[in-house]
Structure 1
Amino acid sequence: MTTRRTTLAAALAVTAALVLTACGSTAAGPGAVASTEPVQGGELTFAIANDPISLNPSGTGSGNDTLYVTRQLVDSLLYQNPETGALDPWLATSYTSNADATEFTFALRDDVTFSDGTPFTAANVKATFDDIIAAGALSQAVSSFVGYAGTDVVDDHTARVRFSTPNAAFPNSTASVALGIVGDATLKVPYDQRADGAALVGTGPFTLKIYTKDTATVLTARTDYAWGPTALGNDGRARLDTVTFQIVPEAGVRTGSLTSDQVDVAGGIQPNDVASIEQAGYPLVSRGNPGVTFGISFNVSHPVVADLSVRQAIAAAIDARTVRDTALNDSFAVATSVLAKNTPGYADQSAAFAYDPARAGKLLDAAGWKAGADGIREKDGAKLRLKLWWITNFGPNQTSLELIQQELKAVGVDLQLQSGPVPDFLEAQKNGDFDLVWGNLSRADGDVLRTTFSKATTRYRIDDPALETLLQQQLATSDPTARDAVLAQAQARIASQVYQIPVHELTSILGTQESVHAVTLGADSRLDSLVAAWKND
């Protein structure tokens, strides 16, 4: 190592050692001799921030870190190619759709088995999808099945999925982890008892060996796996023998564990660590996240923020570029719409979110909110005090929100920040215990607007017939160009009604040892299948 690398590792290793003493040294670090040919075998240790919470693929877990793990255990009918956006074969060799996007017929591979040795057939597709429907609100995937009328087992290797109303987004949905196919042994266990993964039987390249809550999840390669997506470059057995997802909540500790060679990959690299990691010679894997951008959304059932003028004022008081420049860096784009720029159907709405604190003040004045003695506005004896919930799983969130808090205070809004882990955040959303929410949602399809803002699925209590019509229309439009036009109208409606204030886009960043290869991010910018990953120690 150079002096710079040694200094960086020494500065961060002390903290890392406090929680990673059991890991040992697992990688060669910068300067390792790179092999030009993939190596078979080896162990990969991957540091993530959060416990998965649930290893049930369609269940509700802790977000991206959950999907990093479950992606390795289950396969999907289709694979969305991150380079082209195309839907490639995986468990299904092909699919067809009828003219009005109400029926999708999947031709399935005939050589796939589950980890318990049972064959994969169309009956498993039907059983998995029916199980998601039966789970209802317990499943994160149920929103993909709007209008679901059933799955027909045409024969062992042909499944037809039917909808009572058009669902043009469904093929894309089948590429997600949440719609990963599980075996009969899994479905025999009650849905709410599958979180620990003990019953999980999938067709993925790895199987669960050990899950220790808040500590680690250890996966073992299947020796008979032979159906990985062509785009990943390995359709056979995973090259690694084991993968261990180590829970390391603190971002600085994850960085330190990487630079002190205690882990092979560190997830959730924070913007302020990027330059030092690159300078020390550790490769980064990064990709902008498609889907809903990081921003503020409103619980419009609460009277204060039900007032459009108040929402418009809050939007005008926030300087998104300053927030980005302060909390992040140029790797993270300033958001210009509720959708990130690399999301199919993106349309620029930046004109609706110009920074104008003077306008914010005038809007609040007109809405009856007058400045009090302490500078916080009042109306009918009540302070303009709002509660915003946010999750602690992305380091820059706090800096972003503290700056936004200052910007809103400057126009007389008292923003109260309430943070917590994912389960607390989800519970607050379920109960409606918030005025505003800070967050994002990664998905490589514009239908993410429907799953976020539709009356049937929204966490924000939105009841807007004009928006609902657009969200359902895009779902019923199979022509991509026409669908993009409808999605643009939906974004314009969300912007004009200020249901969400876009602030910045997310970029997923992994740090790796030089000895690690073929660790990639998928179309949704989450960890892809590790079937092709390898190490040269």
Structure 2
Amino acid sequence: MRSRTRNAALLGATAVLTALALTACSASASPNTGASTGTESSATPVSGGTLRYLANTEPPTWDGQRVPSLNLNSINSSIFDTVTVQAEDGTYKPGLATKWEVSEDGLTYTFTLRTDVKFQDGSPFNATVLKQNFDRPLNETGLATASSGIVENTVVDDSTLKVTLSRPNASFIHALSTPHWPIYSGKVLTEHTPAELSANPKLSVGSGPFKVKDYVKGSKIVLEKNPDYNWAPSTWGHTGPAYLDEVTIQFVPEPQARIGALGSKQADAIDQVPPLNIPEVKAAGGKILEKDNTGTPYYLALNPNIAPFDDKNVRIAFRDAIDVDGLLKSVYAGEYKKAWTTTLPDTPPLGSYDKSLEKSWSFDPKASAKLLDEAGYTETDKDGYRTKDGKRLTINWAVDSLYVQTDQRQQLGEAIASSLKKAGFEVIRTPYDTAAFSAQLAKNEHNLADSSRGYADVGTTIQPYQTNAIPKDGGGSGINYGLLSDPQIDESGKIVSANSDPKVRIAEAQKVQKRILDEGFAIPLYVPKKIVGTNANVHGWKFDAVGYTDAFYDVWLGK
């Protein structure tokens, strides 16, 4: 069976490579002498060529306001400009807005806008169009941007928009710097429905350096240079149009097929390089570009509302029974670092990560066994699982199918489930379609769910544990997968969300991290990072502050 599975995988990879050979465009190279960013030496960028990029999945929706998606963020960053931009040091710079003023009560933001920007369909950017975009969460249901708290948008004049919030939101300016707030052409928003925006990326008309040229559902999206682009933020490496003529992004789920295409020069860059394959990419002459994410780690959210995790002893016992270090080493060859808290290092404001919590918990089978005894799970059934009052210690793990291949999380999840049998836990992993995932969690029938949230502001590391983020009946955008309702965390969350003083926000964020660990509400596993493989002719690749791929604007191709 093992041999047959391996052969089938190889045949699948070969088929994908054949398709790539038939459909991929060749990159037109121009003479150059070096490379671009990061650890590479500087060189003079050249224009022209098509970048052939292989992504692991197609985005579940093409509307950035609707569902956060790593792949969509990477694509939308090339199509849409943002109102503000975040610099490498975590500060915010002008984007489509040249400046902004905030009222003393933190409820009113007045944006002064650029007057030289036009959308890819030729329509103008102005305060009226920005109001259309900011009005969307007021008029549409199910938008993730509703959490920004906008209640009213007022056009002062063509270049000035006043935005009123229902509550102070310390991360509002950050939110406007992310691809979660794509600024669409007003013409598109007027002429098309939200459902059409979600389904068809040809309606993704922004003011960014690339525009959509072609799209084949389930196969690829092609971006072409916007020749009129001349309003790049100061955070970029150049001004004027992009260097590349086109970017062809193909959706190739099989990691080995992506790696094979890169090694055979049928692709210039690939996303989601599995850690175990990094030596293979390097041996074939490729480069590995990587950056740790900020925001939350990949973590397990435990549901404390129903048995057995309604007992703190069982929650802590479950954590103590997981050999995180050993599992990361076996699944990822040690490439991913262990996460110690529910906030990642370098998450702004700097200092939010509580370093004192490092090594505050560890793999401890003896302590786990003692806690299970204290919780009443003193018997063992014929299959080796702990029992209490004749009932097996079973953990139902709800899994979002969209993300099981991200970072080989399927393999990690299976390894965790298998390893826990020794401690007496039966772990059952049940996959759900993304569209039904939140609604399933809202039923309060699961014991465990996993997640990670990349965001360059500490507020997002607390939101997954706040009562107001619990998924509702019928779905929605709730990200509190453990259905946790804790007054102490809610109070700290309110302060972090509303207070603009970094010292206050840091102190409250650290309180939350400690409480989550003390109570066993979640188990941090590893620090996610973006791992991109490229051929030697690819230069100028950048990552944003979160650690996702930024736009292809500065990328250029050499020989």
TM-score surpassing 0.5? yes
Deviations 1:406-438, CA, capped at 9 Å, x for gaps:
332121110112346644655644555532112
- Report the CA distance shift for 1:257/1:424 in structure 2 as closer, same or farther (over 3 A): farther
1:496-515 pair list within 5 angstroms: 496-515=518-537
Of the three residues 52, 67, 72, the one matched with 1:66 is: 72
Q: Aligned Cα RMSD in Å?
A: 2.5
CA positional deviation for 1:399: 3.2
Aligned to 1:191: 194
Query: What letter is aligned with 2:271?
Result: G
Matched, 1:389 2:389: no
**SS state at 1:410 partner:** helix
1:267-286 pair list within 5 angstroms: 267-286=271-290
- Report the CA distance shift for 1:395/1:287 in structure 2 as closer, same or farther (over 3 A): closer
Of the three residues 356, 366, 380, the one matched with 2:389 is: 380
Aligned to 2:343: 339
Of the three residues 77, 84, 109, the one matched with 2:83 is: 77
Of the three residues 268, 293, 300, the one matched with 1:296 is: 300
| Distance in 2 separating the partners of 1:51 and 1:431 | 28
CA positional deviation for 1:252: 1.2
Contact 1:318 1:404 in 2 (8 A): yes
Aligned to 1:21: 21
Aligned to 2:481: 459
Query: What letter is aligned with 1:266?
Result: I
CA positional deviation for 1:213: 1.6
Of the three residues 115, 118, 123, the one matched with 1:110 is: 115
- Report the CA distance shift for 1:421/1:336 in structure 2 as closer, same or farther (over 3 A): same
Aligned to 1:140: 144
1:209-288 pair list within 5 angstroms: 209-288=213-292
CA positional deviation for 1:88: 1.6
Segment of structure 1 superposing worse, 428-437 or 254-263 = 428-437
CA positional deviation for 1:386: 1.3
Aligned length: 522
CA positional deviation for 1:381: 2.9
- Report the CA distance shift for 1:262/1:237 in structure 2 as closer, same or farther (over 3 A): same
The alignment-based identity, stated in percent, is 27
CA positional deviation for 1:154: 2.3
- Report the CA distance shift for 1:430/1:73 in structure 2 as closer, same or farther (over 3 A): farther
Aligned to 1:49: 56
Deviations 1:194-230, CA, capped at 9 Å, x for gaps:
2212333211111112222210011121111111222
Contact 1:23 1:262 in 2 (8 A): no
Matched, 1:402 2:406: no
Segment of structure 1 superposing worse, 405-414 or 440-449 = 405-414
Contact 2:329 2:335 in 1 (8 A): no
Aligned to 2:40: none
Aligned to 2:556: 534
1:141-156 pair list within 5 angstroms: 141-143=145-147, 145-146=148-149, 148-156=150-158
Deviations 1:334-368, CA, capped at 9 Å, x for gaps:
10111111212111333553221111112222222
Contact 1:228 1:531 in 2 (8 A): no
Contact 1:289 1:505 in 2 (8 A): yes
| Distance in 1 separating the partners of 2:313 and 2:134 | 43
Matched, 1:176 2:165: no
Contact 2:27 2:49 in 1 (8 A): no
| Distance in 2 separating the partners of 1:430 and 1:33 | 56
- Report the CA distance shift for 1:432/1:519 in structure 2 as closer, same or farther (over 3 A): farther
- Report the CA distance shift for 1:235/1:357 in structure 2 as closer, same or farther (over 3 A): same
| Distance in 1 separating the partners of 2:257 and 2:78 | 25
Query: What letter is aligned with 2:127?
Result: A
| Distance in 1 separating the partners of 2:218 and 2:464 | 29
1:299-338 pair list within 5 angstroms: 299-338=303-342
Contact 2:450 2:481 in 1 (8 A): no
Segment of structure 1 superposing worse, 41-50 or 115-124 = 115-124
Matched, 1:519 2:541: yes
Aligned to 1:367: 375
CA positional deviation for 1:13: 7.9
- Report the CA distance shift for 1:208/1:226 in structure 2 as closer, same or farther (over 3 A): same
CA positional deviation for 1:283: 1.5
Contact 2:462 2:493 in 1 (8 A): yes
| Distance in 1 separating the partners of 2:55 and 2:443 | 28
**SS state at 1:153 partner:** strand
Deviations 1:76-129, CA, capped at 9 Å, x for gaps:
111112x21121211112223233432222221111111121111122222212
Of the three residues 191, 202, 208, the one matched with 1:204 is: 208
- Report the CA distance shift for 1:400/1:53 in structure 2 as closer, same or farther (over 3 A): closer
| Distance in 1 separating the partners of 2:13 and 2:312 | 50
Segment of structure 1 superposing worse, 151-160 or 389-398 = 389-398
Contact 1:326 1:400 in 2 (8 A): no
CA positional deviation for 1:296: 0.8
| Distance in 2 separating the partners of 1:454 and 1:197 | 33
Deviations 1:146-187, CA, capped at 9 Å, x for gaps:
3x3322222221222222321111111111101121122332
| Distance in 2 separating the partners of 1:26 and 1:260 | 13
CA positional deviation for 1:316: 1.2
